[in-house]
Chains A and B, each alone.
Chain A
Amino acid sequence: EVQLVESGGGLVQPGGSLRLSCAASGFTFSSYSMNWVRQSPGKGLEWISYISASDSTIDYADSVRGRFTISRDYAKSSLYLRMNSLRDEDTAVYFCARVRCPNGVCHYLDYWGQGTLVTVSS
């Protein structure tokens, strides 16, 4: 059974930092691209970062580029999101999601974790 379990969320002051983790199990982690997606309270979903299966391609939304860093540890089957210079508008539930890439095009997300809440407030 595919499982994605996020952790590391919490309350942080504006300008602070946080590192989110996503523990993957039930599939060959090294074979899949992964995404981070967030959802602000009462709002829609917002894609924020992508990392390819081989770690060779990384991408960010403009809203977080330069402040957030995505990475993965194959030995631990884990995905990470380092978040620096946090702002009020970064308050959201952060989901990790597995990406499916039929014919090499990574166009949809087939499994999602339950999410971890990040609250940025003074």
Chain B
Amino acid sequence: EVVLTQSPATLSLSPGERATLSCRASQRISSNYLAWYQQKPGQAPRLLIYGASSRATGIPDRFSGGGSGTDFTLIISRLEPEDSAVYHCQQYGGSPRYTFGQGTKLDIK
């Protein structure tokens, strides 16, 4: 099983700053099948990034993904108050078919 470890668990930043979220896999993720989702309280997850670095439709270019192999990063530049949310990474492949990280909570104050 591929285990995804996200860090930090919680991140507190100010509007206009840059957030760097990490997702580390216990095994190499083939073909960068790594996605990122944003989830606000009481809402469904929303796809931000797929294929490690491709932005989903309608996602602002402030959100960018990178990395390969076992180390992946979500960067949110020029933070806005509405970016407060939990961010999840997810990988595809192996057994189980999909696994998620435990999430990073981002607070914008």
Residues in chain A within 8 A of chain B (CB atoms)? 35, 37, 43-47, 50, 59, 61-62, 95, 97, 100, 102, 105-115
B102 within 8 A of A: yes
A47-B100, A95-B44, A108-B50 given. 5 additional CB < 8 A pairs? A44-B102, A45-B90, A46-B100, A108-B33, A113-B44
Closest residue of chain B to A57 (Cβ to Cβ) is B97
Q: How large is the interface on B (under 10, 10 to 19, 20 to 34, 35 or more residues)?
A: 20 to 34
Task: For B102, list chain A residues within 8 Å (CB).
Answer: 43-44
Q: Do A45 and B100 contact each other (CB < 8 Å), given the known contacts A108-B47, A108-B92?
A: yes
Smallest CB separation, B25 vs chain A (Å): 14
Residues in chain B within 8 A of chain A (CB atoms)? 31, 33, 35, 37, 43-47, 50-51, 56, 88, 90, 92-93, 96-103
CA distance A106 to B91 in the complex (A): 11
**Contact in complex: B35, A108 (CB < 8 Å):** yes
**Contact in complex: A109, B90 (CB < 8 Å):** yes
Smallest CB separation, B63 vs chain A (Å): 15
Closest residue of chain B to A35 (Cβ to Cβ) is B98
**Contact in complex: B50, A107 (CB < 8 Å):** yes
**Contact in complex: B103, A44 (CB < 8 Å):** yes
Task: For A35, list chain B residues within 8 Å (CB).
Answer: 98
**Contact in complex: A47, B99 (CB < 8 Å):** yes
**Contact in complex: A44, B33 (CB < 8 Å):** no
Q: Do A105 and B103 contact each other (CB < 8 Å), given the known contacts A95-B44, A110-B56?
A: no
